[in-house]
């Protein structure tokens, strides 16, 4: 059996190695149009930022090492330019000299990946304008910074790559501005959780221009003139397009292979395309979202590697199936970590789920053990069924551990109420006896049995207009004086029983504290004395972060730039 693989990196290289492990006699040839067969795509921003110092650390395999270990023939700088399914061959162009040849196959695996989105606007051919997708792109940016010593950069796009670049370029000493068409960065997150990311970037001096688009580029003396849709022009020493990626599927389209959303390659759960003996994996393929069941494009290394393994299994005669992706992701932003899995609240609503949520602010480990920090967790679930739909976490430490537990729970079909029953490891340096994931489960179980009734940040403006409710802040006097919501009366939770006469009877009471714990205790005191009480989800800390983020948007310049 001869297997030809188009593209390396994650899916193609993984498939090649797996095929060899399953079939020692197979002839395997990989064609890769770049100069690198397998590299750490996710590490590219960190090489630019000098976190990864050695260029060779980015290269996971070379053609020589791949052949030595797996007897896989890898031909870099070779581009497959046509597929001929009727005679089971591909046309390959040698990029160094432009000559072409045909290669036969028994099985063909397409792993072309995705290409950076480059808008059709004026000036995209500027030598001071860059994209970041390949090692070659990385070296070009790195060399430009080394030679020209730019002092400023504008990043067009605020997805994962854009935010990682913002951090790394800021750490190099550049003045960084991020332009994002949406009104938030990192759109897999809900806006309330993205507010923590915005705050961390601003804290480190990164300027955010949200809700605006780049419409063109020009030259202005030695600078790049970045033109915005509002008419403003930003002068900068260099600019980087980080607008996302689109499936690179022209080759498949020309071969008559069926395409799906955004012209991605349609595959079944065995990674088979519409053409016999042709498989496809990675960023170029349409998959099913594991939670919503809807068609999706999820451009992540984890799914690409799994798909490569599954395609290899099926090429070798096994029966492996791909069950979709939850989109589990994590990102470092200076001292903050942000992670998500499953559906965001907004995405769940778009899919017409009946959505509920809890927001909590637990410590990363036992509070009495030194070094702990507060994280913010948002867990989304379906009303009535209590099916887990998604989760988002931001914090200084312990985020990765909890998001993986929640991702596993979603995959395994654990109900949101059953999070309280998970038996998770505990020692003071690592967690609490009631882990934050357990705490989320306790809260959701309390919602189910009626012990907890919630109110949320978007209800605040309506509540402040009402006269038929009592607004109660149960933090200490000192905390209250350091910042509070106008209209909320301060009665510390430890004084509440003695001061119940100050809470009008017969009116619903909406309660807040710093994290949500003391206010929950206050609601139980109130309900035990005949009141109807609602606890604020997330606490004043969460409220203040969200409102500060909204205030930045409100007081931005007409073009949307953060005021200094």
Angle at 273 between CA 270 and CA 275, to 5 degrees: 130
Going edge to edge, which strands form the sheet with 489-490? Answer: 454-455, 533-536, 509-512, 470-473, 489-490
Torsional sign, CA 71, 72, 77, 81: positive
391: left (phi over 0), alpha (psi -120 to 50) or beta: beta
Return the half-sphere exposure (C-beta side, CA atoms, 13 A cut-off) of residue 371.
6
**Across-strand partners of 454?**
535
Q: Are strands 470-473 and 509-512 parallel, antiparallel or unpaired?
A: parallel
| DSSP SS3 for 255 | coil
Q: Annotated catalytic residue: which of 42, 230, 351, 559?
A: 42
Residue 417 contacts residue 448 (beta carbons within 8 Å)? yes
- Contacts of residue 254, Cβ cutoff 8 Å, sequence gap at least 6: 82, 83
- Residue 559 annotated among the catalytic residues of the structure: no
Residue 311 contacts residue 279 (beta carbons within 8 Å)? yes
Going edge to edge, which strands form the sheet with 78-84? Answer: 78-84, 89-94, 100-104
d(CA 40, CA 50): 15
d(CA 58, CA 47): 8
Q: DSSP states of 490-546 as a string?
A: E--GGGTGGGGGGS-TTS-EEEE-SSSHHHHHHHHHHHHTT--EEEESSHHHHHHHH
Going edge to edge, which strands form the sheet with 278-280? Answer: 73-76, 27-32, 2-6, 107-110, 278-280
List residues with catalytic annotation.
42
């Amino acid at each position: 059996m001869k297997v030809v693989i188009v593209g390396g990196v994650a899916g193609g290289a993984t498939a090649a190695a797996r095929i060899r492990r399953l079939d020692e006699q197979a002839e395997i040839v990989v064609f890769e149009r770049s100069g690198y067969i397998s590299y750490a795509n996710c590490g590219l921003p960190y090489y630019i930022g000098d976190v990864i110092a050695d260029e060779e650390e980015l290269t996971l395999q070379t053609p020589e090492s791949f052949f030595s270990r797996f007897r896989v023939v890898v031909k870099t700088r070779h581009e497959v330019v046509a597929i001929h399914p009727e005679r089971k061959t591909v046309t390959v162009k040698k990029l160094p000299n432009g000559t072409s040849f045909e290669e036969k196959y028994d099985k063909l695996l397409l792993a072309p990946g995705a290409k950076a989105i480059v808008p059709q606007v004026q000036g995209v051919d500027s030598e001071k304008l860059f994209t970041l997708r390949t090692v070659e792109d990385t070296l070009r940016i790195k060399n430009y910074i080394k030679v020209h010593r730019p002092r400023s950069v504008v990043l067009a796009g605020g997805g994962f790559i854009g935010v990682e670049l913002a951090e790394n370029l800021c750490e190099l000493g550049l003045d960084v501005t991020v332009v994002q068409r949406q009104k938030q960065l990192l759109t897999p997150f809900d806006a309330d959780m993205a507010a923590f990311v915005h705050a961390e970037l601003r804290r480190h001096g990164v300027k955010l221009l949200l809700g605006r688009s780049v419409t063109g580029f020009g030259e202005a003396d030695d600078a790049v003139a970045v033109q915005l849709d509002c008419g403003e022009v930003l002068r900068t020493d260099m600019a980087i397009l980080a607008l996302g990626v689109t499936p690179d599927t022209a080759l498949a389209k020309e071969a008559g292979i069926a395409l799906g959303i955004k012209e991605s390659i349609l595959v079944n759960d065995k990674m088979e395309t519409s053409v016999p003996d042709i498989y496809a994996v990675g960023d170029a393929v349409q998959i099913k979202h594991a939670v919503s069941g809807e068609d999706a494009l999820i451009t992540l290394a984890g799914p690409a590697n799994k798909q490569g393994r599954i395609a290899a299994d099926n090429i070798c005669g096994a029966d492996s199936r791909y069950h979709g992706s939850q989109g589990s992701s994590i990102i470092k932003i200076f001292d903050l970590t942000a992670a998500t899995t499953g559906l965001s609240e907004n995405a769940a609503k778009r899919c017409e789920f009946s959505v509920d949520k809890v927001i909590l602010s637990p410590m990363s480990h036992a509070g009495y053990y030194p070094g702990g920090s507060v994280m913010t967790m948002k867990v989304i679930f379906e009303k009535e069924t209590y099916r887990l739909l998604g989760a988002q976490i931001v914090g200084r430490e312990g985020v990765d551990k909890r998001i993986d537990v929640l991702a596993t729970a979603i995959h395994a079909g654990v109900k949101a109420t059953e999070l309280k029953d998970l038996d998770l490891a505990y020692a003071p340096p690592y967690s609490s006896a009631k882990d934050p994931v357990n705490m989320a489960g306790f809260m959701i179980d309390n919602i189910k049995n009626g012990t907890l009734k919630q109110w949320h940040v978007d209800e605040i403006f309506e509540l402040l207009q009402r006269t038929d409710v009592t607004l109660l802040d149960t933090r200490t006097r000192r905390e209250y004086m350091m910042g509070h919501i106008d209209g909320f009366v301060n009665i510390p939770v430890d004084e509440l029983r003695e001061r119940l006469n100050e809470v009008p009877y017969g009116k619903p009471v909406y309660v807040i504290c710093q994290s949500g714990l003391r206010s929950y205790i206050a609601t139980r005191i109130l309900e035990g004395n005949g009141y109807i009480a609602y606890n604020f989800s997330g606490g004043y800390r969460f409220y203040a972060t969200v409102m500060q983020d909204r205030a930045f948007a409100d007081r931005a310049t007409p073009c949307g730039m953060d005021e200094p």
